[in-house]
Structures are given as C-alpha cells and as structure tokens.
Amino acid sequence: MLLLYIYVGQILTLTINMKTRKLGMSDENLAENRDKKAKKIQHPKGKLSAYERIDLLLDEGSFTEIDENVVSDENPDGEAVITGSGTIHGRPVYVFSEDFSIMGGSLGEIVAKKILRVMDLALDARAPIIGIKDSGGARIQEGISSLYGYAQIFKKNVEASGKIPQISVIVGPSAGGAVYSPALTDFIFQVQGIGQLYVTGPGVVKTVTGEDVSYEELGGVEAHGTKSGVSHQICENEEQAFEEVRYLLSFLPQSSNQKPPVFITEDDNERSVEMLDSLIPENRNHPYDMNDVINNIVDDGEQYPVQSNYALNIITSFSRVSGNTIGIIANQPLDFAGVLDIKASEKAARFVRFCDAFNIPLLTLVDVPGFLPGVEQEHSGIIRSGAKLLYAYAESTVPRVCVVVRKAYGGAYIVMDSMGLGADKLFAWPSAEIAVMGAEGAVDIVNRRDLESAENKEELKSKLVDEYNDKFSNPDIAAKLGLVDKIIKPSDTRKIVVEAFKELSNKTNLGDKHGNIPL
C-alpha cells in the first residue's frame, strides 16, 4: 500500500512538472527556443520533445543539463542529443535523450562524444543511466566517424554492464546502429505505435528479401515484445513508459556496490495464506495460475513482471519480501504446462544474471514437467539455451531460496535452482513431485516388456502409474536425501520464505561480479 501511495504521488508530480519545467541554468533561452522548434516537429508525429521526456522521467526540477554548449558546425544551436543528470525518487541518475528534430536524432561525432561523457559520469558516480531513443541511426553525412562513435558507445555499454543499471526507452525509430546500444542495456521499454527497432528498414528488406513489411510490423512492440523478446516492457504511451522506468528503479540498487532500497511494509511477515493449501488441482495435469502463489506470498501482493508478453511459460518479476527486493523466477503451468523451451530458458537466464550482478536475492518457484521435446527445439539449440540457465544459476552468489510447488522432473528439476546447483534453501510443498521423469514416461521405459506381454495393457499401465506416483511422485525421497530442507504447508510459505531470506541476508557479495551479456 505504501508503495502504491508513492506511485500515485509520482504521477501527480509528473503532471505538474510538465507545466513548470526548469531548464539548465545557463542558456535557458537557447534551450527554450530549441524545445519550441522540437515540439513543432515532434508533436504532429505523436511524439514528445527530448526535454519533455526528461521531465517525465526525472523528479520535478531535478534536471541539470551538461554539455549544452557542445555543438557542431552543422548544428550550431544544439546537437541531436540532450544529456545530463537528475534524480528519481531522490536518487541520482544520468540521462541522455535523443532529439529527432535535429537531423533525425542521427549520431555523428559530437552526439557520440556527449553520450560517452554522460555514460562516463554515470559510471564514475555509480548511478543508473537511462537512454531515451529516437534516432535514424548513424549520421549518413559523417560516414565512418559516426560508425566509430557507435562502436565506442557499444564498448562503454559493455564496460558499464553489471556495474550500473542501464535502461533504454524506445520512443521513436531506433534504426541501424541505434539498435545495438539498447540491446546491450539491461532493460528496454518500447512505446506502442512510435517505438520501433530494426537493423535495416522496410525499404532494404524489400530489396534484399522481397518481403513487404511496415515499420511497425518489422520492429514494433508486437515484433519485439512478444516475438523476438528484444524488448522487456511494452508501453501504451510515453507517459506510461517513463512512469514504469521510475517504478522499475524503485526495485534496483544504484550499482553493483549497493543493495536495493528497502521499503517499509505493513504486510505481516508471519501472514498465513490459507488459499494456498487448496490451490493445486487434484488432477496432477490440471493447470493453475502461478501468479496466485506469487501475489499471495510477497509484500502487499505487489510484483513487477519483466518480459510479461514473451515466453509466458516462465514468469520473471521483481517483488519484495519483508521490504527487500527479490527476483522471482517461476514456471507458469497455465502456459504450455510451464515447460522449459529455448525462449523461457534464455529469458530466465538473463534475469538470473541481472539479479546476481545487482545483489538481488532469487526466489524460484518450481512446477516444471521438463524441457520441451521435439526436433525444432533440438535443432534450434535447446541444449545451449538450457545450459545458459544452468550457468546463470550455478554462478549466482546472491541468496537463493527455492520452493518446489509441484512438478520437478529430470533436467528441468536440476536447472530450476536445485540444491546441487547451489540453492541455499530448498522447500517443497506436499504436492511436490521430484523425480527423474513423469510416471507415464517412466512406466513406458521401465516396464516395456511387461506391458508388451500383458493381456490388458491399459489396466496394467494404470496400476503401474499409480504405484510409481505413490513411490516417486512426492518430495519424501528428496527430503530423506537432504535435497529438500523441509516439506512445508503451502499456507506457511510466506513466513518460511521471509525467514530464509532473513537468515541469508549477509550472504550478498557486494561489488562487480560479471556483465549482463544479452542471452
């Protein structure tokens, strides 16, 4: 509830801020004139100006522009990006906002210099950097020096990766070279209708492949939010995008040197959640919504899902327990039975690595029937993708708590933060089925000969499946082997998860660990 109030407060602040924007102290008139011209170009396209965007993003009146006098002969009144610093929820951040009204926001030598400088400042100050993207890519007139500028920015993105949170907001075209800097950042927010990412535009696509495609079809929110997974958040409009960036940052630390901020909650740490005792359907193959588990055990039922339109069979989201940020990775039985495929494995792996880099403890909720079988998955590299998730968990040093809710079969059991991979605390509900594989498949293999010679195959198979389930489809064997710490009542899950993270709270290893390579 507390956060909700803060959140509503932010929206009000933003509205006021729009009307009372204060620009950098020097050259106020220059900036005002520039903004007036920009609005004339941007508003008819349904887009805001670069300054308006900064206002929506930052705390009211907190923006200090830097390098406003750094101009080129071509653009003596200001170059195609505005850079500076400000605060979000009172904490320092750095920002650059590409200005499409000047040569289509294209990147030449001076623009690259300005962006590199603000990135350096962010790295030195160990504060997040947010890039607002609206650009036609490399400035054609400047040729190779604009390509060199991009290369330097990409290198800087990689240098900053895993050290400070890097966020991109796509509010216009991001064409050509302009796509790779966002792709190297941790989170991409993309605005419907105006935000598009593509390496080559529809014209070149038509020439090379003969395909007819619009800008929106090629690189809009549908393409990148649901199909390619390049974007993490789809937003209806710019206002929502900047509100969401602010909200995301409320879960994150300033850098790898810090822990995330703590939010005081009135939610009872000992709260029992009775509905969880009857959540799992009697039929083991029937689905339920994993969000019912998450929302009932985290503080105030609050979670912020990441990539919520992509690979729906796995949930990755930020939440809090006892006021502290956690990253949640959970199979979603409602989609594809929660199976792990290539997309889900990579989505989860990158999320785990981000959390590990930024000292965010992991809560894994398991209900996974296995890796998705099939020629298409094998030939597209499910082995490599599954290995990415294994790698991500195995190298993580943040506190890790795992709860097996229902199915945990085979390799998919191992990969979802099993004890062998390094989970610190592993709990299982009585409904947990921890086994090498599901009963049907196991009986087909182990009892093949008996089944072949049986008079009534169906009857025998059903009997053997029941026997297998009684013997193996439970958490008892894993508990006896010490691979489950405790079999817990589902209604006690919040209390037990809170205690486990409290116990592990000093485990976190502050400092640079690794980058967050796009997986």
Binding site for ligand HXC (CB under 6 A): 103-104, 106, 136-141, 147, 150, 173, 175-177, 180, 201
State the nearest-atom distance from the C-beta of 73 to ligand HXC, in Å.
15
86 in active site: no
State the nearest-atom distance from the C-beta of 31 to ligand HXC, in Å.
20
Of these residues, 176, 220, 225, 338, which one is catalytic? Answer: 176
Of these residues, 411, 441, 454, 515, which one is catalytic? Answer: 411
Asked whether the beta carbons of 91 and 127 are under 8 A apart, the reply is yes
Which residue's CB is nearer to ligand HXC, number 100 or number 242?
A: 100
Of these residues, 241, 311, 412, 432, which one is catalytic? Answer: 412
Q: Are strands 64-66 and 81-88 parallel, antiparallel or unpaired?
A: antiparallel
Of these residues, 136, 137, 149, 177, which one is catalytic? Answer: 177
219 in active site: no
Q: Which long-range contacts (CB under 8 A, 24 or more apart) does 11-17 make?
A: 11/243, 13/59, 13/60, 14/55, 14/56, 14/60, 14/239, 14/242, 14/243, 16/60, 17/55, 17/56, 17/60, 17/61
State the nearest-atom distance from the C-beta of 110 to ligand HXC, in Å.
13
* Pairwise CA distance, residues 509 & 394, whole Å: 15
Query: What region, left, alpha or beta, does residue 287 occupy, with left being phi > 0 and alpha being psi -120 to 50 degrees?
Result: beta
State the nearest-atom distance from the C-beta of 388 to ligand HXC, in Å.
24
Residues 6+ apart with CB under 8 A from 455: none
Asked whether the beta carbons of 361 and 324 are under 8 A apart, the reply is yes
411 in active site: yes
* Pairwise CA distance, residues 393 & 340, whole Å: 15
Which residue's CB is nearer to ligand HXC, number 127 or number 138?
A: 138
State the nearest-atom distance from the C-beta of 76 to ligand HXC, in Å.
15
Find, among 293, 290, 315, the residue nearest to 304 by Cα: 315
Asked whether the beta carbons of 342 and 381 are under 8 A apart, the reply is yes
Which residue, chain included where needed, has tokens 């320092």? 92
* Pairwise CA distance, residues 124 & 133, whole Å: 23
Q: Are strands 233-235 and 187-191 parallel, antiparallel or unpaired?
A: parallel
Q: Are strands 166-175 and 91-98 parallel, antiparallel or unpaired?
A: unpaired
Find, among 84, 82, 75, 116, the residue nearest to 99 by Cα: 82
176 in active site: yes
Which residue's CB is nearer to ligand HXC, number 153 or number 328?
A: 153
Which residue's CB is nearer to ligand HXC, number 48 or number 439?
A: 48
State the nearest-atom distance from the C-beta of 416 to ligand HXC, in Å.
36
Question: Over the range 26-41, which residues count as b (16 or more CB within 10 Å of their CB) and which as e?
Answer: eeeebbeebbebbbee
State the nearest-atom distance from the C-beta of 229 to ligand HXC, in Å.
20
Find, among 60, 45, 72, the residue nearest to 9 by Cα: 60
* Pairwise CA distance, residues 195 & 189, whole Å: 9
State the nearest-atom distance from the C-beta of 42 to ligand HXC, in Å.
10
* Pairwise CA distance, residues 507 & 398, whole Å: 7
State the nearest-atom distance from the C-beta of 108 to ligand HXC, in Å.
8
* Pairwise CA distance, residues 334 & 430, whole Å: 20
Q: What residues are paired with 234 via a beta bridge?
A: 190
Catalytic residues, by residue number, are: 176-177, 411-412
